[in-house]
Amino acid sequence: MTEKEVRLFGSWASAFSLRVEWALKLKGIEYEFVNEDIPFNKSEELLRLNPVTKKIPVLVHNSKPLPESLVIIEYIDDTWTEGYLIMPKDPYEMAQARFWAKFAEDKCIPATFGVFLKEGEAQQKMLQEAREAFKTLEQALGSKNFFGGDQIGYLDLAIGWYAFWIPIYEEIESVSIVDNKNAPLLKAWFSKILDVDMIKTSLPPRDKVYEFSKHLQPHWRNASPLK
Ligand SMILES: N[C@@H](CCC(=O)N[C@@H](CS)C(=O)NCC(=O)O)C(=O)O
């Protein structure tokens, strides 16, 4: 059997590998998906391919490995230049998209995991931080349908998983992080992005992700997924 030119080491339950899959699908790139048993049973091959962070996702293109999902998405857009454009063409818009993706990684994700993993007063503090961060993030959307404009782009891929995962965390913890009162534009975007065919058809089963998240919650409380 010959190895596919493009392989993605990921996990069925990882939002970070899913965002890379979305980029590959938008470009129409054929790839082999290698499912890693994260976090307890990483393969030797993954550790060899990504000795620095030892995390998924790792894209392997023509035997060359590349980690970090947002870096991978840019690499995909730069390498397969035909067809769907993921990054905005205009340099200023491109820089803005990168700025907001960084804001989301630095502010929205830690606060969201904080809500999911902390309890009591500490959770309430994280909830307030998360709600403020999402309200701020909403500014990047404004009156557009998607962060990328009329169609999904880089920032939609970077944060699209929120639309699927946040309601699951909200349900498990009986809290509201993104709602019509706090961030109505973002909440409406949740529905819009989940309705995009490519996104809708590539999501893992909700009940499996729900169970998996609940199952890992105690482990993540001791070893944050963001460490
Ligand atoms: N910043 C990284 C985050 C990747 C990440 O956190 N991957 C998790 C799975 S979702 C992982 O491999 N965890 C294994 C570990 O922490 O040992 C990216 O965007 O690629």
In a domain, 84, yes or no: no
Strand runs labelled E in the chain: 6-10, 32-35, 58-61, 64-67
In a domain? residue 132 = yes
> Of 30, 45, 79, which residue constitutes the final position of a domain?
79
pLDDT at 1: 41
Residue type, 220: W
Q: Which of 23, 52, 79 is the last residue of a domain?
A: 79
Q: Is the pLDDT of residue 220 over 80?
A: yes
Which residues line the pocket of ligand 1, CB cutoff 6 A?
A: 11, 14, 16, 38-39, 54-57, 68-70, 225
Least confident of 1-10, 30-39, 95-104, 140-149: 1-10
Distance between the two ends of the chain, CA-based, in angstroms? 37
CATH code for position 48: 3.40.30.10
> What is the whole-number distance in angstroms between the Cα of residue 57 and the centre of ligand 1?
7
Query: What CATH number is associated with residue 192?
Result: 1.20.1050.10
- Judge whether residue 147 has pLDDT over 60: yes
The ligand 1 atom nearest the CA atom of 54: 17
Q: Give the C-alpha distances (Å, rounded to integers) separating 200 from 22, 182, 206.
A: 11, 25, 11
Whole-number Å distance between alpha carbons of 5 and 63? 7
Given a contact cutoff of 8 angstroms between Cβ atoms, the answer to whether 20 and 58 are in contact is no
Supply the range of the domain harboring residue 153. 91-222
Q: What's the number of domains the chain is made of? A: 2
Closest residue by CA, ligand 1 atom 19:
69
How do residues 162-186 score in pLDDT, each as one tens digit?
999 999 999 999 999 999 999 999 9
| 199 pLDDT above the threshold of 90 | yes
Q: Do 111 and 184 sit in the same domain of this protein?
A: yes
| Ligand 1 pocket test target in 46, 47, 56, 98 with most atoms within 8 Å of CB | 56
Residues 103 and 205 in one domain: yes
Q: Which residue has the tokens 């493009």?
A: 6
Best residue among 8, 16, 75 to mutate for probing ligand 1's pocket (most ligand atoms within 8 Å of CB) is: 16
Residue 135 sits in the same domain as residue 180 = yes
pLDDT at 206 (0 to 100): 98
User: What is the number of the ligand 1 atom nearest to the C-alpha of 70?
Assistant: 19
Answer with the one of 32, 49, 79 that is the final residue of a domain.
Answer: 79
Say if CB 4 and CB 32 are below 8 A apart: yes
142 CA to centre of own chain: 21
